[in-house]
Amino acid sequence: MGKKLKVVICSSEVVPFAKTGGLADVAGSLPQALEKQGLEVIVIMPKYKNIDYPENLAKIGKNISVYFIENDGFFKRDGLYGDSLGDYEDNLDRFIYYSQEAIRLLKKINFKPQIIHCNDWQTALIPVYLKSIYTRDKFFKNCKTVFTIHNLGYQGLFPKEQFKKIGLGNDFFTLETLEFYGKVNVLKGGLVFSDVLTTVSENYAKEIQTPEYGCGLDGVLLYRKKVLHGIINGINYEEWNPATDKVIAKNYDPRNLEDKYINKEDLQKISGLEKRSNLPLIGLITRLADQKGLDILTRAIDEICQLPVQFILLGTGEDKYHVFFKQIAKKYPKNVSINLKFDAALAYKIYAGCDMFLMPSRYEPCGLGQLISLKYATVPLVRNTGGLADTVVDFMPYQDEGNGFVFSEYSSGTLLEMVKRAVTVYYHRSVWKKLVKRTVEDDFSWEQSARKYVELYEETIKLPS
C-alpha cells in the first residue's frame, strides 16, 4: 500500500462541536468517511464558546485530530457569525485570524498536507494566502487546495476600506481577484485561487454557472468550469438512523416500518397536537431564511392548514418569520405546532414522527433534510432545484417510480398543488404504503461520496504546481 494521503479539512463549523447548518454535518462526517477510506485527516476550526478541550485538541472518528484556533476576543461569543442584530461587524477580522492561524498551525504541528480542503467563505482566504504569501514556502511545496461551495449565497462581502486588513497588495483587489462591485468578496478569493472547486450536488454545480443561481459569481464559475465538480453530500447513518436513534420513542427499520407510527403518536403528544393517527403529519425543519422557500410557504400556509393535515415546524432565523409563524400557531391551535428554536432532539423526533417532510427551497445546494427524511421513511415534498432534484424523484404510482413529491415553478400555487397531491395519495392507504417503502431504498451514506472525494484528491495532487 502506498503512503496515506494527508488531508486537512478547514471549516468554520463541525459537528459535534458547533453547528448552524448542513456545513457542520458535512465537516463532521466527511473526515470520518475519508479516514475509513484509509486517508490521514485532521480538522481545523475556531474555538467557540463552550468548546473546551485540553491543548485545544479533540478527537473524532478513530483517530482524527480536531484542532481549535483560539482567540477569546473573536470566538468566545454566543453566536458563530452574528447575533439578533445581524452579522458581527468584525467577521472579516475573525476569519482572517482563523485562516492565518490555520496555516501557521500546520507548520507548528509539522503536518505537511497534500490537500487542504476548505469550505465556504470563512475559510476562503487560506487558498489566497497559499497562492500569495506562501508561494515560495517549501513547507507547502506539494500542497494543493480544494474548495467546496456549500452555499453560494453567503460570500463574505465587506466594504473596500477593509481590504487592507487582509494584508495583500492592491493586485489582489481587481476584477480577476477579490474585488466585486466595489466590495471585497472573500468567497471569490477561494473560487479564483483554489486548485480545484467542488459543490455539494451535480445539479447545483451546473446551476451556479447561470445568472439565475450564480449570485453574481456565475462568470467566475464559468471561467473555472473545468475544475468545478459536483459531489453530493452523504449523511452519517451512525447519527441518522431510525434503527439505532437514541432519541426517538421507538426504533424501526425497513422491515418493521409500522413501528414508525409509535413515533408519530409520541410527536403529537410532546408537541401538543391531537392524537390522530389517520391525519397526515407534515414536518419542516429549517433555518427561517428566504432561501428556504418561506415566502411562498407563508402565502400557501393558510390553505395547507385548512386541509385534513397536521403541521409541525422547527426553525429559527429571520424575525419576520418568527412573527408570522407565531400568528399561525394562534390561528390553528389544533393542527399546528410551531417551535421557534434550535433543538437537535426535537429534530430527530420530527424526522421519525412525520409522514411528510417539506422543503420548498428557492435554491438548495444539496439539502440534508430530504436525505434524513428518506432514511426515516418520511416522504420528502421538495422543489425541483439543486441537490433536491438529484435525490428526490416525483412519485408515479402507476409507473412504480419515485420516492417523494416534486414541484418546479417557484410559486405558492404550485407548492400548494404538490401538497394537495401528496395528501390525496396519503389517503389511498395502499398506494401510500408502497411509496413509504420506496423512500428507504436508496443509500445516501457517505461512503460513495467519500470515494469521489478521494478520486478527486488523487487527481488534484497530480496537477502541475
CA distance 411 to 384: 12
Residue pair 200/387 in contact (Cβ under 8 Å)? The answer is: yes
CA distance 341 to 335: 19
* Residue, CB closest to ligand ADP: 22
Burial of 184: CB neighbours in 10 Å, binned 0-12, 13-18, 19+: buried
Select 42 or 389, whichever has its Cβ closest to ligand ADP. 389
| Shortest reach from residue 23's CB to ligand ADP, in Å | 6
- Asked if 222 is part of the footprint of ligand ADP (rule: CB under 6 A), the reply reads no
CA distance 456 to 247: 36
What is the side-by-side order of every strand in the sheet holding 157-159? 157-159, 183-185, 179-180
The footprint of ligand ADP on residues 68-127 (CB under 6 A) is none
Q: What are phi and psi of 254, to 5 degrees?
A: -60, -20
Select 103 or 336, whichever has its Cβ closest to ligand ADP. 336
- Asked if 251 is part of the footprint of ligand ADP (rule: CB under 6 A), the reply reads no
Residue 72's SS3 state is: helix
The residue type found at 296 is: I
Which one of 119, 286, 391, 403 is in contact with ligand ADP (CB under 6 A)?
286
- Asked if 386 is part of the footprint of ligand ADP (rule: CB under 6 A), the reply reads no
| Shortest reach from residue 188's CB to ligand ADP, in Å | 20
Q: Site mask, ligand ADP, residues 291-330, x = CB under 6 A?
A: -----------------------xxx--------------
| Shortest reach from residue 367's CB to ligand ADP, in Å | 5
**Cell numbers of 362, please?**
428557492
Select 26 or 456, whichever has its Cβ closest to ligand ADP. 26
- Asked if 31 is part of the footprint of ligand ADP (rule: CB under 6 A), the reply reads no
- Asked if 37 is part of the footprint of ligand ADP (rule: CB under 6 A), the reply reads no
| Shortest reach from residue 453's CB to ligand ADP, in Å | 17
Distances (CA, A) of 337 to 99, 234, 359, 457: 42, 29, 17, 45
Helix axes 22-36, 446-461, angle to 10 degrees: 70
- Asked if 40 is part of the footprint of ligand ADP (rule: CB under 6 A), the reply reads no
Count residues binding ligand ADP (CB under 6 A): 18
Select 109 or 345, whichever has its Cβ closest to ligand ADP. 345
- The strand pairing partners of 262, in sequence order, are none
Residue pair 126/145 in contact (Cβ under 8 Å)? The answer is: yes
Of 159-167, 293-301, 364-372, 434-442: span binding ligand ADP (CB under 6 A): 364-372
Report which of 392, 427, 402, 378 is spatially closest to residue 252, judged by C-alpha positions: 378
**Cell numbers of 133, please?**
504569501
Which one of 338, 368, 374, 389 is in contact with ligand ADP (CB under 6 A)?
368
- Asked if 22 is part of the footprint of ligand ADP (rule: CB under 6 A), the reply reads yes
Select 146 or 200, whichever has its Cβ closest to ligand ADP. 200
Residue pair 114/5 in contact (Cβ under 8 Å)? The answer is: yes
Residue pair 23/12 in contact (Cβ under 8 Å)? The answer is: yes
Report which of 233, 265, 257, 256 is spatially closest to residue 372, judged by C-alpha positions: 233
| Shortest reach from residue 25's CB to ligand ADP, in Å | 5
> How many Å is the Cα radius of gyration of the chain?
23
| Shortest reach from residue 120's CB to ligand ADP, in Å | 10
Of 16-24, 37-45, 187-195, 300-308: span binding ligand ADP (CB under 6 A): 16-24
Residue 440's SS3 state is: coil
Which one of 127, 190, 369, 404 is in contact with ligand ADP (CB under 6 A)?
369
| Shortest reach from residue 272's CB to ligand ADP, in Å | 18
- Which residues are near ligand ADP by CB under 6 A? 21-23, 25, 285-287, 314-316, 342-344, 347, 366-369
